[in-house]
Structure 1
Amino acid sequence: MAAKTRPSALVIAPTAVLLIASAFLIFVSSHRLRSSRDLVVHTHEVIGTARLLFSGIQDAQTGERGYVISQQPEYLEPYREAVARIPQLVARLRELTRENPTQQKRLAELSREIDNKFAALATTIEALDRSGFEAARAELMTEAGREAMLAIRRTIDELIADEQTLLASRTAAVDETEWRTLMVAIATMLAALFALAIAQLLLVRRNSQLRRAQADAALKAGLLQATLDHTREGIAAWDAGGRLQAFNQRFFEQLELPQEFAARGTRLDAVLARDAERSTSMLQSARARAGQEPAGEDAMFHGRIGQRTIEIGAHPTGDGGFLFSSIDVTRRVQAEEVAAQAQKMEAIGHLTGGIAHDFNNLLQIIRGNLDLLAPQLAGDAKASDRVVNAIAGTERAAQLTRQLLAFARRQPLEPRVVNLGRMMTEMADLLRRTLGERIEVATVIAEGLWNTLADPAQIENAVLNLAINARDAMPDGGKLTIELANTSLDAAYAAHQADVAAGSYVMLAVTDTGTGMAPAVQARAFEPFFTTKPEGQGTGLGLPQVYGFVRQSGGHIRIYSELGHGTAVKIYLPRAAHAAEWTGAEPLQPVEGGSETVLVVEDDVDVRAGAVDVLENLGYRVLQAGDADQALELLEQSAAVDLLFTDVVMPGSIKAAALARRARSRFPRIAVLFTSGYTETAAVKNRELDADAQLLSKPYRRDDLARKVRAALAEAAGQARMDGAAFAHLPLEGGSRQAPDLIRGEPGGNELPSPHPGSSAAN
């Protein structure tokens, strides 16, 4: 055995040394070639950046002159973009030429020239804005701008000329290095051929070992095929010659390739040609991406085949072949899309809710002052009309904020157990009158329809919104169908929807025969202010308001639509087990004033002043404070305070809830009325108000404030009478009645209970 091994070693050792030396030479040559090419690329980048710089300066000049001629602000866009981009390009040139002192010096000069040029441009624009066209024209006629531009052109031309000289020398170096690399490669190839010849001789001597290895390989191949057939992924491997070597049926089934391709030896070119017939060539895309990934990492490509999403993996094998894998990721992609959409809508909801809150405070200042101003202008008809128009404007603005709060799920709801069948029957005539004669309205109500818990007014508003959208989608007329049915959403459905809980629901579907929606429009349909209607015909808040109401009510909403076939919007509201309640409107109480003492606590000076003026006009004695600390001082100094009217959000460490509790410790029978730019629902949800707290949402009218104050005072008086009756019926102990323990919390505490449990809050 040693005798047989020695000749092989004598041949292999020199061959190995030769190959290693050749490989080293190739490596060195390749490194030099790469370095030379990098220098060429670097030079090209310097030249390209210099040209971009000059182009940007020309754009700035073009924008400036376009603006001077047209005096239209949009013509300044090229100028503004150039102002932002030029410093970046100059900085990039400095970075690229940092090892070239000549170019660095030239760039310093170029920077000064650019500054002069842009100063001239800015002077012209300022002259136009300040003194008009003739002044700007006079600035343009000066030689400063032209000379600056000539200087810039000259400097950039010199810079590019130097770089082109460098480019020529570096290109020559690349050519020389390529020739040397080719020679080394030829030598290496000859060495490799020699090594292959020696290897062939060795292989002949080991035929017996090869036969045994083949038998072992056949056994392993069978095991490999059994493994492939039982994996969830589709697998197909082609060798360097483009022939199929290993595969399973699942690969061809998932990619919907003909079964005749599922055979050893199938050419990769044939499979790629069939795959290229799709709108997106999945295998070719994955293969191309594999060349862009770092070595050892798979290239993944997602594509759609029919209604399914297939993930294709491509990995080059060591022998020059390709290994492809496929897996059906439809469910995973759907779940990710639903989760992403839910997160986006939640983020937009937080943003719109905050905007509406701040806007309500501004509206309150405007509306309060208008209410106070109106009686003073009773004798001036024209001024009174203007005040009325302004008040109407604040009402429209308040409606806008209510729509924003509806989308953000912060609108005040009054949920009741209702039967949607009766509601839709009553609404049918209203819808027919609203939609017109060209729209046929049909209602389909399932027998035994369950009740649901929701705000009746918001349900009517949602149906009306959807009906109007449907009408606009049927300009030539059509049919609107309102369908009601009982349904159950199971766990399998809920698992693929981020915002759905499994359970029993009442489905309300509004279907039209209109133009339908494109998938891109459906994806954005619930976003605030997104609309496809012409300007002035839609606010983009109708569907978002419906979406917010449904989600706030614990429901679910989906849109099903096809272009040219119509749209169906399905609302799912939770089933209610109780009987339907009467939904008639309660009559408004008359506006009354009073003589009680009211403490107004509001950190916004303008809002506080408006509230104080309204209350004083209603006859109340008013105290005012800018924060909780001032309010507590006034409470200590006052003989009696009948009502605390406080904003929920205030600066300082003492919040509205704590202020209310401490006010009751001073005046146990004091009434508490909160106000906030948010709504009661939002405050309750954030645990800042109890569910039955008295809250007046901003912006409010004079009459709203008057009614709420009387209601809060009446509730406090009623609670006081109930407490007195309870005290009168306490058993006698030791010959005297014992007062009930009014202390909240631990015995011996110093906080008194509120007359009504829902009076502590903050926004």
Structure 2
Amino acid sequence: MKEPDSIRRPQRMAEPFAVAAVVILLVITGFVTFHNTRRLRAHTDLVGHSHKLLGVLERIESTIKSAETGQRGFLITAQEPYLEPYYEAITAIDGLIGELESITKSDPVRYAKIAPLQDLIDQKLDELSTTLDVRRQAGFESAQTLVATNIGKRTMDSIHDQIAKFRRSEESSIARREQVAATTYWTALATGLISTVAGLTLVVGVLYLVQHNRYRAEKYAIALKVERNRLQETLDRARQLESENAKMDQYMRTFLEQIEDYAIFAMDAECRATTWNRGVLKVLGFNEADFIGKDIRERIFTPEAIAMGIPDSEFATAAMLGSASDDRWMMRADGERFWASGISSVVKDKDGKIVGYSKVMRDLTERKRDQDQLAELAAKLSEADRRKNEFLATLAHELRNPLAPIKNAIQLMSMSELPADTEELRQTMARQVEQLIRLIDDLLDVSRISRGKIQLNKEVVNLSNVIKAAVEASSTFIEEKEQHLRLAFCDQDVFVRADPARMTQVICNLLNNSSRYSDSDCTIDLSLSVQADEGDRGSAVIVVRDNGIGIATDRIDEIFQMFAQVDDSLRRGNAGLGIGLTLVKTLVEVHGGSVSAQSEGIGMGSTFTVRIPLADPSEETVAKHVATEPLSATKSFKVLVVEDMQALRTIMARLLTKLGHEVEVAEDGLSALEKLSESIPDVIFSDISMPGMTGYDLARKLRERDATANIYLVAMTGYGQSADREQAHNSGFDEHMIKPVDITKLQSLFQRLSARGDRP
């Protein structure tokens, strides 16, 4: 296989580089060897000069000693032959000094040491000459006296010291030079060895490169032959593919031309059509002659799109991103508009230059119309659902208004001694009113479910207490039908994290459902137990079982659907709205639980099972130890009732008076403000929807005045949505109560206000 030039070029250059490296190494080695040899020779010469200098110094010292020896012999014997060493020394000393000067003249430092030495030698020779003259002329004693002065000895000692210093200096210099010479020797030896090894390595490398290049050249020659054969095969294959591609292009062109549902065509860089297929005729209405070579932008885009620059923007997007969708209204050749779905794509050459565009379009006008109709229908359904929710809220409000005085009147009657037959009638009315209130609440819960507005106020509660509250609420209906309710609780307390009001509603709906679809003298069983779940804390299990009419096995799955009824004909007199079980299922599931129904068929009774996750054990402990502080006795309050409905206003005033409070009434907001100018109450109960001034307006005005800013304000309204509660609190109300207000809630309110002690 052929190697790239970027790889082969370094391989071709490696051999000359290696040869050049060998030559350079040999030159460097010769230069280093020459330099080291010169240094070694120079230091050897210097060492020789130093040894020669030491020899001269030794001869000078020996010559002076010989002169001194000859002097002593003559002083003792007075015979001239003893002076021969003296005369020889006198003759030799000048030559030695000259030789010393010759050796040191190239070194100023050493040369400077000769002058002091020569002075000492001259002094010594003068002393010797003087002593000899005294011996000849004055005799031995005079000469002995002169010698005894030690002048000669001191001079000789000085000469000896000077020569010793000179000698030590030279010996030190010799040692240094010998060390340098040795270092130079070993350096030259190491350099030569390294150079030799490096040279041999480079030579071996050059030989290897030569051999390797020869082998590679042979290998590439073989590979080149193989590559040439392969290239020929590729060329033959390419020619074959070109022929096949030409056939395929012709086939695709024919195929695309036959497609009628899609308009598929190509354009040049100026958006002029260069191809045509039958889809262009069917979708756009252009025949080939009227289409090819024409700028398609002004032929298929609507005038509005052209005015907005959409065609240019679409093709600019395609040029930038590669493609652009164009789902929009387009125009046929006859001017008819249709909804087109398609895509425009850019076509580039190998250099990335735009050479044209392609476009695929499909007529989806019918689908667009269907989608528009569906969207319109969805909007209408959404509006209908909104109106339904508004209607339910308004209906609940309008039903609660007349119910409020009825319920309050019935509760007011319960606070008086009544004959037995009258009390029985009162209880019947009370039950029916509660049933009607529950139906209204269920209607509103349906609205909340459809909008996902179910809100939970969860806390850790004992299910036994919840069940007891539900039984108390449903007992009147069960007793009225002379049915029997049996309870079965487990031995332990069962705690769950739940909204107690909603859980009570779940159990009430199940009990009421069993009562409604069971005959007189039937039995309803309600049990509470704990079921251990693998890998979890377990579940609380509530089972409501009856021996009533039962459920057809083929309708078990429908029973929890909205407005589903067990029997639409035979039992219609007992049927509710068909939303109770739907509420049960929704409320249980938002608590993380489940509910199921079982029945063996018509006449076999029904069983409903609710499972709720148990609370965390630590939360159970906290719940068990929460102490309930008893409420203090209710004190008397000054109360103002603002209500435009005369019946409710009167009944509410009488009920509050019966509870021990001082009550005044006002029929609207303006009347209430006039009453407040005379007396400031502790608590104001105000309707919301009143003529002239709404309850919200009244609350805001009261909060703005210093004298009335601290009055405890309670909103009474038939609207019970979360938005209504929020608006009431934002307007200044302290509490929001839904009509008809139960007497127990009124008593609880006044107990809480009594317990506060400060502002109501």
TM-score, with length taken from structure 2 = 0.37
For the pair shown, which has the larger CA radius of gyration, 1 or 2? 2
Q: Which has the higher helix share?
A: 2
TM-score, with length taken from structure 1 = 0.36
